């Protein structure tokens, strides 16, 4: 998964890089809502300026999310166009720029993903008759059945006739 830039062979006027890093680069925990569904695609111009490496271009990756409103799963592509990343160079050793690209995408992942912002936008609203605060009396919805009786303490009720003989 590395994307290595060899500083010793980097031309003075820079180099164009394009390609894909596998979706596994994101390595999100299994319980995370965002699931990568595409590789991280990049099209970059890479140039060195003294002790700085400048990356300019476009990156994108698609993720599957759960909508915070409707709980529907949907796909949203995180795109960053005209991106500029500056990396400080501490040595002349080759540098892996994959993590910098990954971090830029991760920072753009929506905190509260909504299905109306997906690649294929969906209607993103709840059916208001099912909301307690918005429930009107003229709906066809019946009230939910009462919860079952709590019988955990019924055995103690039978002991109420016992008296303490002390």
Q: Could you say which residues of the chain have pLDDT below 50?
A: none
Is residue 65 assigned to a domain? Answer: yes
Please write the tens of the pLDDT for every residue from 38-56: 999 999 999 999 999 999 9
Is residue 99 assigned to a domain? Answer: yes
For residue 153, the Cα-to-chain-centroid distance in whole angstroms is 45
pLDDT of residue 1: 77
Structural contact between residues 84 and 56, judged by C-beta atoms closer than 8 angstroms: yes
Q: Which conformational region is residue 89 in: left (phi greater than 0), alpha (psi within -120 to 50 degrees), or beta?
A: beta
Structural contact between residues 105 and 67, judged by C-beta atoms closer than 8 angstroms: no
| CB-CB neighbours of 156 under 10 Å | 8
Q: How far apart are CA 79 and CA 109, in angstroms?
A: 10
Is residue 76 assigned to a domain? Answer: yes
Is residue 84 assigned to a domain? Answer: yes
Domain count, the chain: 1
Structural contact between residues 55 and 15, judged by C-beta atoms closer than 8 angstroms: no
Between the two ends of the chain, the Cα-to-Cα distance in Å is 78
pLDDT of residue 31: 87
Is residue 136 assigned to a domain? Answer: no
Structural contact between residues 94 and 5, judged by C-beta atoms closer than 8 angstroms: yes
| CB-CB neighbours of 44 under 10 Å | 23
pLDDT of residue 50: 92
Quote the domain boundaries for residue 39: 4-128
Is residue 106 assigned to a domain? Answer: yes
Is residue 164 assigned to a domain? Answer: no
Distances from the Cα of 103 to the Cα of 48, 81, 97, 156, angstroms: 21, 15, 10, 59
Q: How far apart are CA 78 and CA 68, in angstroms?
A: 17
Is residue 34 assigned to a domain? Answer: yes
């Amino acid at each position: 998964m590395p994307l290595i830039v060899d500083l010793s062979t980097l031309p003075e006027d820079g180099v164009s890089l394009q390609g894909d890093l596998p979706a596994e680069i994101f390595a999100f925990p299994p319980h995370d809502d965002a699931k990568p569904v595409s590789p991280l695609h990049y099209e970059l111009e890479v140039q060195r300026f003294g002790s700085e490496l400048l990356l300019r271009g476009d990156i994108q990756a698609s993720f599957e999310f759960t909508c915070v409103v409707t709980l529907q799963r949907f796909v949203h592509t995180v795109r960053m166009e005209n991106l500029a990343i500056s990396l400080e160079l501490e040595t002349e050793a080759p540098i892996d720029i994959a993590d910098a690209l990954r971090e830029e995408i991760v920072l753009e992942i929506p905190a509260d993903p909504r299905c109306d912002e997906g690649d294929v936008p969906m209607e993103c609203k709840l059916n208001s008759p099912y909301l307690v605060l918005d429930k009107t009396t003229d709906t066809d919805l019946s009230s939910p059945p009462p919860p079952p009786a709590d019988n955990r303490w019924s055995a103690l009720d039978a002991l109420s006739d016992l008296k303490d003989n002390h």
